[in-house]
Structure 1
Amino acid sequence: MTDITLNERKNDLLLAIERFKLVAKATHDVIWDWDLARGTVWWNEGMQEIFGYRPEDIEAGPNSWFDRIHPDDQEQVVKKMHALIEKGESNWSDFYRFRRADGSYAHVHDRGYTIQSGGKPVRMVGSMMDISQQLRSDKARQESEENLTFAIQAAQLGTWNLNPADQTVLFNDRCRELYGYPADTDMHYERLIQFVHPDDRTRVMEAVGRTLDPSLRVPYDIRYRVIGASDRKLRWLHCTGQAYFNPSGKPIRFSGISREITSEITSQEKIAWADQQAAMTIEGSGAGSFMVTLANNEIIYSPTMARIITGSESANMTRNILLASLHPDDIHIRNQAYAEAEDNGELRYEARFIWNDTSVHWVRVLGRYLYDSLGKAVSLSGIVMDITDRIESEQRLKVNEEHLRTLIEQAPVATALFVGEEMVIDIPNEAMLKFWGKGRSIIGKPLREALPELEGQPFLSILDRIYKTGEAHSEQGARADLVVDGQLQTFYYDYTYKPLKNAKGEVYAILDMAVDVTEQVISRQELEQSEERYRQLAAELERRVGQRTDELHQANIELMNSNNNLQQFAYAASHDMQEPLRKIQSFGSRLLLTYSDKLDENGKYMLNRIQDASKRMSAMIDDLLAYSRLTTREGEFEKVALDDVVDSVLADLEISIQEQKTDIIVEGLPVVWGNRSQLTQLVQNLISNAVKYRLPDQESVIRLSYRTLDGAEKETLPKLLPDHKYIRLEVSDNGIGFDEIYLDRIFQMFQRLHGRSEFSGSGIGLALCKKVVQNHQGYITARSQPGKGATFIVYLPVPR
């Protein structure tokens, strides 16, 4: 009997073990068995399938478990488990992070129970479930719900839910506002329908009935007016919704959203009235108008349009007749215009139409699509204009221009045509292009832009006078300073400006013909100067030396007085001018803050323009004051570590550097001899310019480097101290760059190569840099190409 009992218990144990192994294999959890007496932990295959650990990777003891718990969770998990074992409790569970074989962490839910022997826990068995995906799903669902709530609030949408069983309605806050804040007792369908405008009430009730009808089940989509329950305000609403039915076809819920469209309806009414006024204006101007309903291709047109298209105002127009009148060779023009109009809503093309009498006429078509609230085009309206006379005039003009072009290109002297008041360069022959030394890229540009060095010379003002008076002008041996091959050079020309006039007697272009007489003029000048020089040199030399010495002495005294007066004037002027600017900015800010809701968009725009202008003026005054304060007193010069200067500047410009995402690379910089404050202004202007003039689609990189100046290079530079060594500091960027023909111009006061709409600034920064370098007996220049960045080169002395 005892043997049978022992065998049965043994079989039961083997069966239990087998069941445990089957469960461990079948479950998607990680099964573990911790032998507390032996200090070993057994893991099932889930340890490899779920966390990626092979059996040979896992240690035998409990550290195979505890060491893989996230450091932030480990202490509390282990402490809680040991407390349970010490107290002899049965069940344990916890949530924590467990490290996978690839180093990432999984969120797990771990559960276990203890096996007792003699009232003492000897084993602990449990299962570990990976709940990472569940947590991600819960988080994604929560974020989705939050995003939906935010979207509804941001779009100012009202949400509602009607219970068909008891006819009660639930509104969110926005929907209550749209209905004028009805009382709680009004939140019933039969009560709420009374707030719908009487003229729309029947239509709304019919739409609700169709949506709740199980045989129809149509979506709810309607526009109607409501009169606010409390504020009695009239509002237009666009409501969309859907009914939900149980399996037997009974509606169980009717919900949707409401959006206020009062401003849209008002705008459409204004547009309709404006269209009526425009149609009257169009017909009065001789153009024809039309409107096409896209749903049925029905066209409504004016008699003037029929005449422009067919030659007869009595023609019975349809879209097919209109297309049939189009010249066969221009069908592709119309098709392309309609394809573009589908994208931008604007129809625009010029084509030929064949009249009933077979004559051909040019017509210009302008149109615009009108869309419904869903963005679907519902109609096309526009105008047509007969432009035959204009096209024929343009063709005749084109023939005349071709003839003129041939004459200019074959002219024996340098010849070019300047068109319009902006003097756009047109048809320059090769001889004239050679004079200017700019190549053919200047064709089509205004003369002022193509040859900026002409500013300050008499030619531009002479051309302006010719456009106004129509009087020709000629001159012999006129001096012209032109940038040729990157160098500003002086030439002399015999030239003639001949105005060209149209049929109305108005000047539309100026013909420029020139002959280079530089060699003759220079030879004559040299001869005259030589004769004069030798005639007066002996008698005047001593007198002029003495006179020059006195003049220089007096000039030095006057210069010192002038500098002192200028410093005092600049300081006083800047403070006197800054005070009204501060008042403008202060009152402008208060006006914008207090009355912004009373100003329309144009008023706000103009007020912002005033603010921007006053800020630019304030910045310009500060820059002028900084420029005027630059001095060269030897007592202010000392040893200055450029590394410290650059660190200070980068700290000041940290925000703008981060906004422009600029990478600043600073190589080790030396100690120089100079004024720390002025050198800080120099470095700050160079770096801020490099940050500002970046290419928008390219990562901005700025590099600061230097090298010691050798003797050969020093000899080529002007005004350097002979008893000092110099370094060559370079500030390089990969920004927009500039054409080196403007090299001298960029260091002048108030000179800008770009408009304020493109880049801000007062136009003083580089002039200030030049002043600082001059104060240090140094030299500044730059190397650049458009679109390929710029390098500013500064030569500074080092301590002896």
Structure 2
Amino acid sequence: MTNSKMHSDDHLRRDSERFELVAKATHDIIWDWDLVSNTLWWNEGMQELFGYTELEPGPESWYNRIHPADKNRVIQHIHDIIDAGGSRWTDDYRFLRADGTYAYVHDRGYTIHENGSAVRMVGAMQDVTQELQHQRALEESEQRLNFALQSAQLGTWNLNPETNLVEWDERCRELFGVRGQESIAYDSILKRIHPEDRFRVEQSVSQSLQKELGGYYNIQFRTIGADGVTLRWLHCKGQAYFKNDEAYRFSGIAQDITDLINNQERAFYADQQATMTIEGTGAGSFLVDMATNEIVYSATLCKIITGEVSDSLSRKIFVEHLHPDDIGLRNQAYKKAMETGELDYEARFIWKDGSVHWAKAIGRYLYDKSGKVISLSGILVDITERVEAEQKVRESESHFRSLIEQAPVATALFVGPDMVVEIPNEPMLKMWGKNSSVIGKPLREAVPELVGQPFLDLLDKVYQSGIAYHAYGTEAQLMINGELQTMYFDFTYKPLLDETGAVYAIIDMAVDVTPQIIAAQELKASEERYRQLADELEARVVQRTDELKLANQELVNSNNNLQQFAYAASHDMQEPLRKIQSFSSRLQSSYAKQLDENGIYMLNRMQDAAHRMSLMIDDLLAYSRLSSNENTEFLPVDLNKVINQIISDLEIGIEEQQAEIEVDKIPPILGNPSQLVQLMQNLISNAVKYKIPNQHPQITITGRIAEPDEIAGIPYLFKDISYVAVSIADNGIGFDEKHLDRIFQMFQRLHGKGEYSGSGIGLALCKKVVQNHNGYITAHSKPGKGAVFLIYLPMAG
């Protein structure tokens, strides 16, 4: 061996070792596709991330687990890269986990070429599900936060601990009685705080800036206005953020609670006066004396918590009947109430009969003039119906979102008059040339190239009028990969109405028809060029049509002659065969004593062969009749009666094999009764015959109405009629599915004549019957694991 060869082998071995180490070390799923042998290898990441312990050796292990909505696109993309001689491929799609859920993955591969041909592709698949979910949740959270701040009239502030400068919004400046200063020193803010509260605020801020104390800030205090007289009560909350144990940012919100504080004492008396009114609304009221912990409660409150009325309960009823899973929630609500003065939580209570009910508790701490808590008063409302309704709404919204995301065409939901992009599915994002970052943005910002085109105005008209809009072959300019491209779409704008009948959103469904429009345009442009050839083409078509008619007639005559020959030959063969059987029987009865053992053996073989020939001729006659136009009248057929009659006819064979046959109710079939008898008799007798030695046959016959999607996946069936799927399952010897096409052919046998009797025509006859009914027959099986024959036949009615 030359040094060059040894060096090459060492280099190859090191590369192989490095690849194996990378495959084991990475958290990604590494794959290696041998394009020559068409085998696909996965590393251990496939089991660790997606739960698969065993996969098919070929690329089907990948193809079959791509989400149906992504499958054609992804497979087409990777094969386009390979066929074009490209070296790099990357794509994002959904991949099926072993538990039935889908993961969002980012997949990329590198093609290896030898002598100009692609021989191998190596790549890595990364699970990005959590990243996508986190990004969407973050965007939704920011939108909800901004809306909540504006709705609640909250001010926001941010303190830089290093510079002691505070940046605050206009609302926050207003609450502190300051105007026009977007940035202010922390010491200047302290001067705006009431002297009695200033030390307490400073101490609370200092504690919040210490990492070991959690960094949380929550306090109520008074501010002094610019006039030195106006007092305002504020409730401030905040959170400090740390790096290397040092606070680098301290931010939060401020809320005006002046009215709340001023009205707390008056609220105590108002609560007393409102008790009767509260009871009339179905709510229960309570009042807790904080000094004695005694509770005064209404009968309605007791009923809401326990399901019964009692006058001897203590404050412990709130805990004793509280659902165990909600204890922490209630404790957190009371902790918050001690800081804010407001109690507000929703929890489940377990009644004495064991049933679970939802209730909402709303309360308020009342203080004396010194700030000491004197009581807690509030109400409890049964919200079980509301919670259950909200759950149904959430389930409905989740289903609606799932429908949009899984829609086979590009679909998006636009909410509000600004057409905020709420739920765009992957086909729509791809059509726009955008990613999920557009979610939550107005359409004019998400797809800015639409400005100046008619679509935004059309959406506004649909939103205002509530009338759907449809268009076909409409031109649109979209920015795809940084390039403005002309595309054509069929689309629909469908308004969605709320319970008041007002439009609140619009669904956009679009189909890219660019190839069809361009083809039509090219066809129109070429019409003039081909007009001169029209006469010559028409003449050629007429000539070709005549030739086809003649060839078709010859084919019809040939088929008729063939059927007549098969039918006549089968009849003519019966007579000499009967003579062979008759004379052989006479030989056996009259001259058996003159024949030696070998003669008797040959005579028995001759009789067996004649018997098999007779059966084969009978089957050929049956097949010939099916191929002719006889007995083609279709009627509603009760397949249950047909099967019961067949079981009765096969009673002796069934009892001999000790077969168990279970038949479910089958919907009525539109077909030829005699042909359906042949079909079911062949399949049932086969299920009894092809049994495993020393094992009783177990046969299950079921029928159901086939689903439309199921029919759509079978090219041989009509899509505009209903079919019944009939299944005949057994526990027999089974077969290898690579022979599936073979078993339905004439004279094809997978077993020797000595093992199982038969002419090899039965399943061919079954297939012919199904074809005569415009149906479809197939089978699923493994050797030694039984077989399931599945037949699709037109449904009656």
TM-score (norm 1): 0.33
Q: Which of structures 1 and 2 has the bigger CA Rg?
A: 1
